[in-house]
Chain A
């Protein structure tokens, strides 16, 4: 019960929880959700409200609203929840009957909280069509299933191996169910029907869909259950229906390998860090044997505090850094410093992952336990546990899913999607979560689809390349035939950090005393 494995790296910087850091999850959101969970509606008809609103990161006025739906569709008179949505209105609405539904990842991220990122990325689509964002049930404002923790004060000092996942998960479950919430109702299929209900209520006859990461699973389900309402689909960083997300362990390993290869192929990086692979292994071995404890200045408060550098923190911090091409550039330097016994940079990266509330862990657990954990075979289990992350993840879900007691998704849930809807599939070659092979797997029965691999992108191709222009083309032309993906090959890779300050070649005779800055510094009173 942890780790946002497939997050929208670019939407929110890679500030996700590291493995098994359940105790660190703080959320005041459960309070909010229980306050919202007392609607006036008694009928089984979804209620519909919309009003002008502002969303963090966007200065303009948007339209927000929610529909009230039964938590359990089998019990229309039982508990109801509000599912919130936001519409980024088209600048010049030439297609009022259409909207582009953008679905966030996680599982557990709020689409509405990521509105600014979607707006920037989908800016061209939005010139003529509304963008619809929905907080999937259990995330954001829609009866958020977040687990409360002990707070962040101890985040640096904690040793994750002392951590009892089963106990913490039980505590979380007890808190969430206090208001009558049934966590078993927060799987993808129920959420899909909410999406469809919102589409009907807003009066859009057709939708374009953009799904990122776990959002691609929702997009594929939409293709399976309501194909008649879809015009086009874009799957970015694909989780194919046939794939259990627990296989992400291998993808992370691959991400690390890609990084080492990149550094080796890059003259500057290779010269500066010729032993990077060796250094990484040695730090891993050292930390696996024993955690390093030191006194540090807290990254945020500056106060002296204890840092317990564990293998978990080390790899977790690096893993999250792999999501973002620009943060990724710092990894070789961070590994090299760690090998010298200096964990400053690792701590900096780790601090970025601590206090993110970006992933609703309760909803995350509902989805993964119902749809991914139960489908895995013994062979798969043996394969997954070969990697560090696979093993950690599996043992953690083994404990949390036993507590959660999700019913298994039906067997046909994991069948390949068979569809002729124009579908654009995007994968990033450097993706540490959903590698291109997953995109290939999603293509199996897609009859009208194209799969493009962006050589310099990580997770979330449309945010890091011209992928968003391709989406715009697809939306306007309604066909994948004419898409020209050559622009994806434009080299947008970034230099690696060679020390704590620069990405450019360090001149051989870099002297320490500076004459350049002194005058301006002296002139300041």
Chain B
């Protein structure tokens, strides 16, 4: 019996390998997604980080030459005063009030106006950097004014707030890794999809299903062999995306955002182990849905809709939406456990076990459903 299944699996895989479309569909996703994400993040990082030399518009700079120099010493320059043509000047305006020197001389507050669009993501970092520097300048002057009056500046800093952040460089990259993990989990769905359709709706379309069933094999063996081959494809896709991710993510300068994204071998092993039940469920689901369709195209459109569900679950988990419920559900449970692992926290073993069992349960139920449907003449003869 095992032998027969193996023979069938071999046949399915040879079939699939001959069908370039199935192979390539899996490959495109597994190779393309990490590369695309890396490109995206590289662009994002260059946008999110404030440039070393931040050029802004300073209006009325002669009223506060010391402030202007202080800002310049931390790399915030007055772009208007520069002679360099083609200099990139950010849309941030700092206007120094006309009475700035008078107010300062009297020991009063001197006004500077900061004009910028804080909803512009490209400016946010730069704006907060400028604000921070202005604050630093003000507090430095405040301290020196107190010293000049014979007062210890510490008396106006009554609170010393000590922050002990439990994040690590790895866990700070959690959101990005959460999304990376999502793409990996999704790989098991995408990689096997074309094969699943081809081997089910495709067989129906080509009318080869009846022929296959006329061989001395049980529908059970047939279903098993199809699920196994689709699962193998899904796992191959997962392995591939892991390898590509490991190589590609190393090239992204995450450290500029202050964290690290490491895909190490132990994570890859955990990912493969946790992804295995999901791959089985993905295979069973895809075959079950595809067998209901009469043609390749029809199956494709059904599956697109069905695949939204695991995608939604995984995404919700990666963005921490309703985590208490999601940790028990299939796909989202695994996603959460993997994120915990990446952040160096304890893996929620009970939740992982429950969601993995649920995943296998669904797979089993769908397998029975498949086996049943293959006994129906409607399906077999495409009526």
Contact = CB atoms under 8 A, between A and B. Distances in A.
B165 A490 contact: no
Nearest to A57: B162
B148 A504 contact: no
A299 to B, nearest CB: 4
A174 B99 CA distance: 61
A489 to B, nearest CB: 13
Main secondary structure of the interface of A (DSSP, over half): loop
B145 interface: yes
Contact of A517 (B108, B152, B163, B258): B108
B103 A348 contact: no
Interface in B163-218: 163-169
B26 to A, nearest CB: 31
A330 B144 contact: yes
Contact of B151 (A56, A61, A348, A498): A348
Contacts of B100: 504
A117 interface: no
Contact of B69 (A89, A492, A510): A492
Given A91-B169, A92-B169, A127-B256, A503 B148 contact: no
B146 interface: yes
B102 interface: yes
Given A501-B105, A516-B99, A91 B149 contact: no
B152 A352 contact: yes
Nearest to B163: A59
A300 B152 contact: yes
B88 interface: no
A493 B154 contact: no
Main secondary structure of the interface of B (DSSP, over half): helix
A352 B151 CA distance: 10
The residue in B149, B152, B162, B259 that gathers the most chain A C-beta atoms within 10 A of its C-beta is B152
A302 B152 CA distance: 10
A333 B149 CA distance: 11
Interface residues of A, number: 53
Interface in A479-505: 490-495, 497-505
Given A61-B165, A493-B69, A500 B148 contact: yes
A506 B259 CA distance: 47
Interface string A46-72: 000000001010011100000000000
A61 B109 CA distance: 38
A501 B66 contact: no
A494 B106 contact: no
B150 A347 contact: yes
Given A91-B169, A504-B63, A504-B100, A514 B150 contact: no
Given A502-B101, A514-B106, A345 B152 contact: no
B63 A345 contact: no
B341 interface: no
Contact of B106 (A93, A327, A330, A501): A501
B107 A501 contact: yes
A352 B147 contact: yes
Contacts of B141: 503
A282 interface: no
A345 B66 contact: no
Contacts of A493: 69
Given A56-B162, A326-B144, A296 B150 contact: yes
A327 B148 CA distance: 10
A348 B254 contact: no
A60 B73 CA distance: 27
B169 A504 contact: no
A490 B73 contact: yes
* 4 A-B pairs with the lowest CB-CB distances in the bound complex, closest first: A348-B147, A492-B73, A501-B107, A500-B148
Interface of B: 63-66, 69-70, 72-73, 99-109, 140-141, 144-152, 154-155, 162-169, 253-256, 258-260
Given A348-B151, A501-B105, A503-B141, 6 more contacts: A330-B144, A345-B150, A492-B69, A504-B65, A504-B100, A516-B108
